[in-house]
């Protein structure tokens, strides 16, 4: 007696299951993690041995970077074990994996390592949460002052002092034609005196004041109203801006793309042509190198 032929069955690997995971993450938890990392950084900062070495790209790495990264990653894994982490000090996974992330943490455990080594106090801890390609939560802790800045999309931007006092912050309102605007730039990188693109940008303003600071402090200055504009026409990575990006936005400012750049600082696009498009920064890209960007406070039309 013959056996009936079985109908072909679709292989299991071609069957997919789609589901959403709901999770609530208290901002206070992320603030606490950043402050714990800040305390560890300060212990090393005040010690005799920073354990400085060079990474493959010749950028410096210290004991503080490594210890802060450990504290942050362990803390984030405890709070949100299902959310992947992109950190400057972790191995970056291929984009073929990362492009499927609905959410991811973007972390710089010690933003401003060069400033840390110089002992000028201008360094921060940065923890940002990205949804798709946009930052939606940001916490930036300043270890030397004890201040912590934070923001969530649609909820406003805030700063908490070392004594626990918390207040909402707002970017300063201005017009691009106002004289005497305050511009900020990098302590360790390009400045108007030796960079043609920066000099051209600064020349757009009437009698501006130009100050130099390290790390993400420059974005925070715009968010808090201590500066009007921060042009960055030099290389940065996504973890250098993600956390502070949403803080600026929630304070009433913007962070806009200003053209592609190489890791060596070669401009691939004219910043003027790109800036007028008003394009927001994007995160978890295939290439984690940021484009040039400009941070504006609250511009009057």
Is 65 marked as a binding-site residue?
no
Is 108 marked as a binding-site residue?
yes
- How far apart CA 80 and CA 194 sit, in angstroms, is 44
Determine which helix (DSSP H) or strand (DSSP E) holds 257, and give its type and residue range.
strand 254-257
Is 111 marked as a binding-site residue?
yes
Structure tokens at 220: 């925070």
Inter-residue contact 127 to 87 (CB < 8 Å) = no
Closest CA to 239 of 127, 136, 151, 76: 127
Q: Count other C-beta atoms under 10 Å from residue 46's C-beta.
A: 8
Is 220 marked as a binding-site residue?
no
Strand arrangement, sheet containing 293-296: 209-213, 182-186, 229-232, 293-296, 254-257
Is 49 marked as a binding-site residue?
no
E strand spans, the chain = 53-54, 60-61, 85-87, 103-111, 124-131, 134-142, 147-152, 156-160, 166-168, 173-174, 182-186, 209-213, 229-232, 254-257, 293-296, 298-299
Binding-site residues: 88, 108, 110-111, 240
Binding-site residues for Mg(2+): 88, 108, 110-111, 240
């Amino acid at each position: 007696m013959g056996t009936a032929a079985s109908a072909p069955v679709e292989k299991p690997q071609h069957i997919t299951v789609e589901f959403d995971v709901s999770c609530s993450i208290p901002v206070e938890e992320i603030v606490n993690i950043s402050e714990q990392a800040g305390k560890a950084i300060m212990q090393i900062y005040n010690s005799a041995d920073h354990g400085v070495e060079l990474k493959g790209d010749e950028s410096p790495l210290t004991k503080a970077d490594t210890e802060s990264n450990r504290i942050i990653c362990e803390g984030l894994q405890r709070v949100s074990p299902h959310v992947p982490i992109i950190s400057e000090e972790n191995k970056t996974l291929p984009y073929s994996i990362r492009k499927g992330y609905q959410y991811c943490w973007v972390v710089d455990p010690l933003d401003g390592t060069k400033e840390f080594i110089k002992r000028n106090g201008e360094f921060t801890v940065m923890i940002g949460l990205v949804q798709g390609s946009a930052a939606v939560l940001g916490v930036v802790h300043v270890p030397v002052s004890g201040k912590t800045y934070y923001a969530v999309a649609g909820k406003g931007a805030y700063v908490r002092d070392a004594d626990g006092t918390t207040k909402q912050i707002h970017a300063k309102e201005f017009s691009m034609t106002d004289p005497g605007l305050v511009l900020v730039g990098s302590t360790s990188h390009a400045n108007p005196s030796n960079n043609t693109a920066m000099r051209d940008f600064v020349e757009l303003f009437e009698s501006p004041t130009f100050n130099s600071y390290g790390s993400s402090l420059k974005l925070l200055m715009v968010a808090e109203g201590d500066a009007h504009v921060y042009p960055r026409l030099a290389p940065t990575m996504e973890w250098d801006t993600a956390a502070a990006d949403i803080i600026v936005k929630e304070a009433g400012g913007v962070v806009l793309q200003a053209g592609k750049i190489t890791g060596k600082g070669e401009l691939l696009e004219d910043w003027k042509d790109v800036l007028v498009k008003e394009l927001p920064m994007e995160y978890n890209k295939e290439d984690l190198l940021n484009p040039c960007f400009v941070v504006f406070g609250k511009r009057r039309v």
